[in-house]
Structure 1
Amino acid sequence: MTDHATGHAAELARFSVNQMTVKQLSLPELTDACARLGVPGVGLWREPVQSYGVAEAARLVRDAGLRVTSLCRGGFLTATDPAERRKALDDNRAAVDEAATLGTGTLVLVSGGLPAGSRDLRGARERIADALAELGPYAREHGVRLAIEPLHPMYAADRCVVSTLGQALELAERFPAEQVGVAVDTYHLWWDDRVPELVARAGAATGAEGPVPGGRIAVFQVADWITPLPAGVLLGRGQLGDGAVDLRGFRALVDAAGYAGPVEVELFNEALWARDGAEVLAETAERYVRHVLD
């Protein structure tokens, strides 16, 4: 192996590409492109994995020499209707099973928005806690940790009533760190001036059997915030370096908190999806080295 190749592999040692960043690639195309570029990790989404076949997807990723850094998504745990609630819990148990089959220890949870007609944010968050009490032990038994992802406050009404890292930690800290952690995503958290203290708090968590690597930080995801935002705000995740987020500063924060796991790039961006997927992957890896590493 050449010195250049060795250096490239070292630069990308923690790099992971979320499947949605290059969703134009089929799962076989994605694993092939990652293997050719030297990308070691992928974050997967349930829908395309289910379409391909969970066991088949696990085999495909494993044979390509990749690791699955997270599975997205579980959650949507705020329903008040008993039948809807049972359905959500069953779906989350299935998501845990899928994560275990794929060999990832992290299931990302998008907690859910307000039920129709409700304005009770506190009550919605309490229902999330009730669900975590049921799901946490099940996940732990299967070698999976639930990662509560706080989403930007603009999503609170319809997608996620957990809007800050502080709120995510207040939920997670009711449960053992081995069962419930948090997702730190730059796109959703970059605006909050409490993030440094909260990341440090997340990293300091210990489990029932002693220190947990990275504390409650189960996954670290990066994307940039670009303006003007597109009409579909969900699709406003900019390519690394194109926006307002101090990506390198965020990475330094999670590193200082003891997190040494993968750095997963998750971009929802129609302009990127319209391009050649392998080209976007190569560009994303280059941007990661330039804007996230030292």
Structure 2
Amino acid sequence: MSSLPFTFGISEFTTMPWSFDQDVARYAGLGVDSIEVVEAKLDDDRFADQMRSIADAGLTISGIQPRIRTFFGSRMMPDPKGVEERTTCLRRSIERLAAFAPGVPFITNTGAHPQGDMAEAMEVVAEKLGELGRIAADHGVTIALEPLNPTSANIESAIWTIDQALDVIAASGSDDVGLCLDYWNIWQNDDVEAAIARAGDRIFTVQASDWRTPRSFADRIVPGDGVIPLAALIEATRATGYDRPWVVEIFSNEVTDSLYDDDLETVVRRCREGMADAWERHDLNG
């Protein structure tokens, strides 16, 4: 398989029906360079060996999705309920996995305030990110805050724009807290390319998929199969100097044509082809 002019990553959410071991064993053969680790897929009795197996398979780590990754509860992760307990869970994830992923961002988002108080949620999350930013720095990793799509407001998240995320990041006071830029979530932001430019070097990881009007709370499709202007977003992101992995993250739940029911090797290959095509169109435009 020919090499790409960028580092191509796959989130383990994209191949959710596979086990962690299957992901690691198959990704490199499918042209994947980097893996976004989903902690929930790790076996607690052998997670250290599993994390070491990533490099043995010729893969790098683009980011880590902690088992509990929001400060407030969310539809995907309703428990535990309290902010302090959830923050402790995030800290434990950093402490147990950071040694296997130096320099890698741990991805988080706000969760949904139980009373819908988005302003308070942003304040609380900024404070907690400041605390965790120090923990991350001590362990040689970073934290990336992800604004979610407006379809997730007060369900999964209190923020849905790049600028809201940047406000929280700034309020955290930590240089080790940055942005997870997920194109599916932010492509409809007003003047999105200017917002990406404002994010600059605070972009710690990039995720991509494609958009059709959702048929469930998690209905993403292969890059190139929808309406997101991927080439333009790639161009705007590269202009910031971003040179880390470009990760495809797909959720495909509760839809009759779920990608999780397809041949996942074909899905991964199509994701690679879709990102390569968007990259080529960006280069041609440039």
The 1-side partners of 2:27 and 2:121 are apart by: 39
The 1-side partners of 2:95 and 2:168 are apart by: 23
RMSD over aligned Cα, in angstroms? 2.0
Q: Which runs of no fewer than 5 residues in structure 2 stay unpaired?
A: 74-80
SS at match of 1:289: helix
* Residue of structure 1 in register with 2:30 after alignment: 37
* Residue of structure 2 in register with 1:277 after alignment: 264
- 1:192-218 residue CA offsets vs partner (Å, 9 max, x unmatched): 123222211111xxxxxxxxxxx1001
Judged with a 3 Å threshold, the aligned counterparts in structure 2 of structure 1 residues 245 and 198 are, in CA distance, closer, same or farther, namely same
The 2-side partners of 1:173 and 1:55 are apart by: 34
How far residue 110 of structure 1 moved from its aligned partner, in angstroms, is: 1.9
TM-score by length of 1: 0.85
Matched, 1:69 2:62: yes
The correspondence of residues 1-294 of structure 1 with structure 2, limited to 5 A, is 5=1, 8-11=2-5, 13-50=6-43, 53-73=46-66, 74-78=68-72, 84-103=82-101, 105-115=104-114, 118-175=115-172, 178-203=175-200, 215-227=201-213, 229-230=214-215, 232-234=216-218, 236-270=219-253, 271-293=258-280, 294=283
How far residue 89 of structure 1 moved from its aligned partner, in angstroms, is: 1.7
* Residue of structure 1 in register with 2:78 after alignment: none
How far residue 154 of structure 1 moved from its aligned partner, in angstroms, is: 2.0
The 1-side partners of 2:30 and 2:154 are apart by: 40
- 1:166-217 residue CA offsets vs partner (Å, 9 max, x unmatched): 01000112345631001111101011123222211111xxxxxxxxxxx100
The 1-side partners of 2:21 and 2:70 are apart by: 29
- Percent identity of the aligned residues? 27
Q: Which amino acid aligns with 1:108?
A: I
- Of residues 46-55 and 193-202 in structure 1, the stretch that sits farther from structure 2 once superposed is 46-55
Q: Which amino acid aligns with 1:220?
A: V
TM-score by length of 2: 0.87
The 1-side partners of 2:260 and 2:133 are apart by: 35
Contact 2:72 2:82 survives alignment (8 Å) = no
Judged with a 3 Å threshold, the aligned counterparts in structure 2 of structure 1 residues 101 and 140 are, in CA distance, closer, same or farther, namely same
Q: Which amino acid aligns with 2:210?
A: D
The 2-side partners of 1:10 and 1:289 are apart by: 7
Q: Which runs of no fewer than 5 residues in structure 1 stay unpaired?
A: 204-214
Q: Which amino acid aligns with 1:252?
A: E
Q: Which amino acid aligns with 1:10?
A: L
How far residue 139 of structure 1 moved from its aligned partner, in angstroms, is: 0.7
